[in-house]
Chains A and B, each alone.
Chain A
């Protein structure tokens, strides 16, 4: 089955530690995205990548970093510089020419204490 996988589903970290969230897709999509979801705030774009080895900052990139070494993978690192990292993180991808229609993974809930 084609789709997007995010692992793990739940992640716990101590404050001050970096943590990397995994996102893999086998849909052969060029574009991939990372969103953060907080209660009552909808989804906010962190980073996106339209092609391998290239990525762009979204609306709330501070405290996050990404890489895109492979088409299938777009890992997100939440650094210790992110002031409020506890949130639900969603990865998405889209087909070439149809960037407006995105397919979402199941999400990772990160809790930092």
Chain B
């Protein structure tokens, strides 16, 4: 069985401040890891993904995430946020073998304060 935990349901942060959105997962098999962003009343957009190789992955809009296998974490970071980053962020995992369905966390709502 697998699960994805996003510890913070809401994260307020001032504009130009750094932010970290936390994601932990549990799985009995190796996984791929993803972060998706959802702007209000829209679908999800892939922000970044970890499949293999370097544990630090860079995505769109200046976001990056680091895969930490020992801590089973995949935290999302941005050094300086903008108002336009206000959105809901979802962490997701997929098994490397077998069914490749995505399993999502419950989401973190990032609110950037001017």
> Do the beta carbons of A104 and B44 come within 8 Å of each other?
yes
Interface size on A, as a range, is: 20 to 34
Task: Render A67-110 as a binary contact track against B, CB cut-off 8 A, 1 for contact.
Answer: 00000000000000000000000101000000111111111010
Q: Which of B100, B105, B107 contacts A99 (CB 8 A)?
A: B100
Q: Is A40 positioned at the interface, with any CB of B under 8 Å from its CB?
A: yes
How far does the alpha carbon of A58 sit from the alpha carbon of B104 in the complex, in Å? Answer: 13
> Do the beta carbons of B45 and A104 come within 8 Å of each other?
yes
Q: Which B residues have a C-beta under 8 Å from some C-beta of A?
A: 9, 32, 34, 36, 41-46, 49, 90, 94, 100-102, 104-107
User: Would you call the interface of chain B mostly helix, strand, loop, or mixed?
Assistant: strand
> Do the beta carbons of A42 and B41 come within 8 Å of each other?
no
> Do the beta carbons of B94 and A100 come within 8 Å of each other?
yes
Q: Is A48 positioned at the interface, with any CB of B under 8 Å from its CB?
A: yes
How far does the alpha carbon of A109 sit from the alpha carbon of B40 in the complex, in Å? Answer: 12
> Do the beta carbons of B34 and A101 come within 8 Å of each other?
yes
Residues from chain B with Cβ under 8 Å of A48 in the complex: 101
With A99-B100, A101-B46, A106-B42 as contacts: A42 and B107 at CB distance below 8 Å = yes
Task: Render A1-33 as a binary contact track against B, CB cut-off 8 A, 1 for contact.
Answer: 000101001000000000000000000000001
> Do the beta carbons of B43 and A105 come within 8 Å of each other?
yes
Residues from chain A with Cβ under 8 Å of B41 in the complex: 9, 106-107, 109
How far does the alpha carbon of A44 sit from the alpha carbon of B46 in the complex, in Å? Answer: 17
User: Which residues from 46 to 69 on chain A have a C-beta closer than 8 Å to any C-beta of chain B?
Assistant: 48, 58
